[in-house]
Amino acid sequence: MTTVNALSEIAALMGDPARAAMLSLLMDGRAHTASDLALSAGVTAQTASGHLGRMADAGLLAARAQGRNRFYRLASPDVAHAIESLMALAGTRAPPASKAAAWRRDPDLRFCRTCYDHLAGQVGIAVTDSLTQHGHLEPKRSRDWKLTPSGEVFCARVGVDLGGARRASTRHFARQCLDWSERRPHISGALGAAIADTFFKKGWAEKLRRGRTVRLTDSGRRALVGTFGATL
């Protein structure tokens, strides 16, 4: 059972503006150097090192050394899920969102982005809506999705690696992740990651070199309509 002190510690770590900026950058699913994270937070390298060390000790980040650099990434999909949920909660404080809101500054980010290792934004929601409307996916309790028999057939036909997703025994298979810009749940977990991987491998979507924004290609737009039967 989570103690009040443990909850308070994690909340305090995430609540610091500099650490929140670092966690937001790491939501792109990539590993970043301490210097990159310091730049994103607007702090010195020494200050960033202290922040990163505290978050790693608390289990929010995983670190590895490579040459002269030390790379950091989110420790688990559960950490990413918590951050995305906090972003969605923060977005409800001032509806409609102010002109300074992230998705108004960058509509591409709201359209399609990575949420750790799965698709989010309007495209992520469109895929989720399509799968539910066609009976391929059903809510399972309050936090998960259930892939139906027709969903199994559909994913196999599209080329989603369900076997690999099921072998990822250390994580949830199909999780409901509250989308911070759309404020509805999209698909996360191993299934969400497998669907995103299919989009990238088939050339339907492309990650940009920096940030979380994902570009949906022309073939990806056609696949959304023709293969998924989705609308944006």
Instruction: Please report whether residue 89 resides in a domain.
Output: no
Does residue 123 lie within any of the structural domains? Answer: yes
Whether residue 107 sits in one domain with residue 64: no
Which of 5-14, 39-48, 126-135, 155-164 is predicted least confidently?
5-14
Global pTM value: 0.77
Is residue 25 pLDDT above 80, yes or no? yes
Question: Which domain does 176 fall in, by range?
Answer: 98-226
How many domains does the chain contain in total?
Answer: 2
From CA 125, how far away is CA 112, in angstroms rounded? 9
Q: How many CB atoms sit inside 10 A of residue 30's CB?
A: 18
Higher pLDDT, 213 or 89: 213
Give the highest mean pLDDT range of 26-40, 94-108, 187-201.
187-201
What is the distance between the alpha carbons of residues 216 and 213, in angstroms, rounded to a whole number? 10
- Residues of the chain with pLDDT > 70, as a percent, come to 93
Q: 183 and 108: one domain? A: yes
User: For residue 181, which of 121, 93, 112, 96 has the smallest C-alpha distance?
Assistant: 121
Least confident of 93-107, 195-209, 211-225: 93-107
Is 162 domain-assigned? yes
* CATH number, residue 23: 1.10.10.10
Chain segment 142-176, per-residue pLDDT in tens: 899 999 999 999 999 999 999 999 998 778 899 99
| Of 96-105, 110-119, 203-212, minimum mean pLDDT range | 96-105
Tell me, yes or no, whether 185 lies in a domain: yes
Claim to verify: residue 132 and residue 200 sit in the same structural domain:
yes
